C-alpha cells in the first residue's frame, strides 16, 4: 500500500480543497493511504511531523467549493526557506525536512504550490530524493510557465469581475471613475482577464508600458463620464513610489477627472470555487494519480490543449524567465508573463480599451 503525503504551500486560493479531495478520492479507490501535511513545510519542521489522515469522510466532495486550504499554508514566524536562508541555516533546514519525510515513511509527496514553491522544490530537490515528488501548480497570478491554466486563477478572475460589477453601479450614479488595483505581482494575467470580462475602459499591466497623458486623454474622450480602470499591482511608474492605483488617481484628479481608488485585496484569493477551477482540479488530480502509478518523480502537472499531462520540474524551471526572489537571497524563481502574442491583447485594442503603448 502506498503512503502519500500532500501539502499546500505559498499563498492560498480557491481550488486547493478540490485538488486534495480528488486526490483522496482516487487514492482510496486504489487502497492507498493519504496524509495531509499541515501548513506546508511547517508541518515537517516540528519535532514530530504534523500530519492528519485524509479520507472521504473528512474530505467529502462538498469541500471542493470552499476556498483556502483545509491543511493550511504556513505560520508566520516559524522557520521556513526564507528565514533559514537569512539566518544561514538553509542546509540544516533542508536536512530537517528530509529527516521528517523519512520519519513519516512516505512513498510520494504531492506539493501544491506556486512558482516560488515549485522553484524551491527543484533547486532544493535533494530533500525529496527518497520519495516520488509530484507538483501541482496553483496561483491566482497565473505566472507559472508550461501550463496555460493554474488552480485558483479562474475563481480569482470571477471574484475581481464581481467586485467591478458592483463598483460600476456607484460609478454611474456619481459620474465617477474608479481605479481598481488587482493582485498578480509582476504578471498582468489577472488584471487583463478580469478587465476584459468586466468591460473596463483601461487595463494597465507590468508587461506593457503606458503613457499617463495618453491614459488621461483616453478617459476624457470616453463615451461615458464614468467607468473602471484596472491597474495591476506590479506596474512601475517612473519617478513615483507607492501604490500604483493611488498615483494614477492623483494624476486623474489633477487632470479634472473625478475618481476614487478601490482595493479588492484578498477577496481575490477567496470565494466559492468556480466550476472551471473544480474541473481543472480533478483533471490535475487525475494526472497526479497517473504519475504515481507510472513511478514519475520531479514532475509537475500542466494543462495544455484541453488536457493535463506531466512535465519535468527541470523543464518548468528552464522554460520561464528566471528572476531573483525578493524574499529569499540566492533563489531564482521561474516566471511566466503576458506575452506580446496573447490573443486578449488584440481583443482589448479592437474594443477600444486602453492597454498602454503596445508595439505594433
Under the phi-then-psi rule, with left for phi > 0, alpha for psi from -120 to 50, and beta for the rest, what region is 285? alpha
Residue 40 lies in a domain: yes
Asked if residue 25 lies in contact with residue 278, where contact means CB atoms within 8 angstroms, the answer is no
Do 14 and 140 share a domain, yes or no?
yes
Mean pLDDT of 144-163: 98
Do 277 and 238 share a domain, yes or no?
no
Do 87 and 132 share a domain, yes or no?
yes
Q: pLDDT tier at 81 (50, 70, 90 boundaries)?
A: confident
What CATH number is given to the structural domain containing 101?
3.40.50.450
Do 208 and 242 share a domain, yes or no?
yes
Q: pLDDT tier at 79 (50, 70, 90 boundaries)?
A: confident
Do 65 and 127 share a domain, yes or no?
yes
Residue 325 lies in a domain: no
Residue 326 lies in a domain: no
pLDDT score recorded for residue 360: 58
Angle of CA points 69, 167, 348, to nearest 5°? 85
Residue 333 lies in a domain: no
Q: Measuring CA to CA, how many Å separate 242 from each of 190, 261, 356?
A: 20, 13, 20
Listed in sequence order, the residues at least 6 apart from 29 whose beta carbon sits closer than 8 Å to its beta carbon are: none
pTM for the model stands at: 0.95
Do 23 and 147 share a domain, yes or no?
yes
pLDDT score recorded for residue 230: 98
Do 111 and 229 share a domain, yes or no?
no
Of the candidates 39, 42, 141, 154, the residue annotated as catalytic is 141
Do 220 and 284 share a domain, yes or no?
no
Could you tell me whether strands 299-304 and 307-312 are parallel, antiparallel, or unpaired per DSSP bridges?
Answer: antiparallel
DSSP 229: E
pLDDT score recorded for residue 35: 98
Q: Which domain holds residue 133?
A: 3-152+273-319
pLDDT at 242 over 80: yes
Do 100 and 186 share a domain, yes or no?
no
Count of domains for the chain: 2
Question: How buried is 53 (Cβ within 10 angstroms: 0-12 exposed, 13-18 middle, 19+ buried)?
Answer: exposed
Residue 239 lies in a domain: yes
Q: Measuring CA to CA, how many Å separate 194 from each of 172, 205, 235, 275, 353?
A: 19, 12, 16, 17, 13
Whole-angstrom distance, CA of residue 130 vs CA of residue 133? 9
Residue 120 lies in a domain: yes
Q: Measuring CA to CA, how many Å separate 279 from each of 12, 122, 150, 153, 245?
A: 18, 27, 11, 13, 34
Do 20 and 124 share a domain, yes or no?
yes
Residue 122 lies in a domain: yes
Catalytic-residue membership of 272: no
Q: Note the pLDDT tens digit of each residue in 302-335.
A: 999 999 999 999 999 999 999 988 778 888 999 9
Do 51 and 87 share a domain, yes or no?
yes
Where does 243-357 show beta strands of DSSP type E?
A: 259-262, 299-304, 307-312, 321-324, 332-335
Average pLDDT score, the chain = 94
Residue 355 lies in a domain: no
Q: What percent of the chain has pLDDT over 70?
A: 99
Amino acid at each position: 500500500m502506498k503512503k502519500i503525503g500532500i501539502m499546500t504551500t505559498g499563498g492560498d486560493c480557491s481550488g486547493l480543497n478540490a485538488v486534495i479531495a480528488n486526490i483522496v478520492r482516487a487514492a482510496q479507490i486504489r487502497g492507498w493511504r493519504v496524509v495531509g501535511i499541515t501548513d506546508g513545510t511547517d508541518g515537517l519542521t516540528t519535532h514530530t511531523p504534523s500530519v492528519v489522515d485524509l479520507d472521504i469522510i473528512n474530505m467529502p466532495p462538498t469541500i471542493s467549493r470552499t476556498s483556502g486550504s483545509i491543511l493550511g499554508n504556513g505560520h508566520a514566524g516559524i522557520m521556513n526557506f526564507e528565514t533559514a536562508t537569512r539566518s544561514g541555516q538553509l542546509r540544516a533546514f533542508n536536512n530537517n525536512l528530509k529527516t521528517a519525510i523519512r520519519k513519516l515513511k512516505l512513498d510520494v509527496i504531492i506539493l501544491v504550490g506556486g512558482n516560488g514553491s515549485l522553484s524551491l522544490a527543484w533547486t532544493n530537490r535533494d530533500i525529496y530524493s527518497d520519495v516520488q515528488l509530484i507538483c501541482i501548480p496553483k496561483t491566482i497570478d497565473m505566472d507559472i510557465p508550461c501550463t496555460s491554466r493554474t488552480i485558483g486563477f479562474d475563481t480569482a478572475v470571477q471574484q475581481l469581475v464581481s467586485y467591478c460589477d458592483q463598483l460600476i453601479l456607484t460609478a454611474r450614479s456619481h459620474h465617477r471613475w474608479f481605479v481598481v488595483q488587482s493582485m498578480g505581482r509582476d504578471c498582468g494575467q489577472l488584471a487583463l482577464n478580469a478587465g476584459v470580462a468586466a468591460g473596463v475602459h483601461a487595463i494597465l499591466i507590468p508587461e506593457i508600458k503606458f503613457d499617463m497623458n495618453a491614459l488621461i486623454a483616453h478617459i476624457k474622450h470616453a463615451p461615458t463620464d464614468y467607468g473602471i480602470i484596472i491597474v495591476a499591482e506590479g506596474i512601475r511608474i517612473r519617478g513615483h513610489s507607492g501604490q500604483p492605483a493611488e498615483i494614477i488617481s492623483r494624476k486623474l484628479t489633477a487632470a479634472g477627472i473625478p475618481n476614487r481608488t478601490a482595493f479588492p485585496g484578498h477577496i481575490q484569493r477567496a470565494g466559492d470555487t468556480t466550476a472551471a477551477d473544480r474541473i481543472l482540479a480533478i483533471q490535475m488530480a487525475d494526472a497526479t494519480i497517473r504519475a504515481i502509478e507510472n513511478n514519475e518523480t520531479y514532475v509537475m502537472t500542466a494543462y495544455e490543449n484541453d488536457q493535463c499531462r506531466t512535465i519535468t520540474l527541470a523543464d518548468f524551471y528552464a522554460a520561464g524567465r528566471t528572476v531573483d526572489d525578493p524574499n529569499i537571497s540566492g533563489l531564482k524563481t521561474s516566471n511566466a508573463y503576458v506575452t506580446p502574442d496573447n490573443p486578449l491583447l488584440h481583443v482589448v485594442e479592437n474594443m477600444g480599451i486602453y492597454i498602454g503603448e503596445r508595439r505594433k
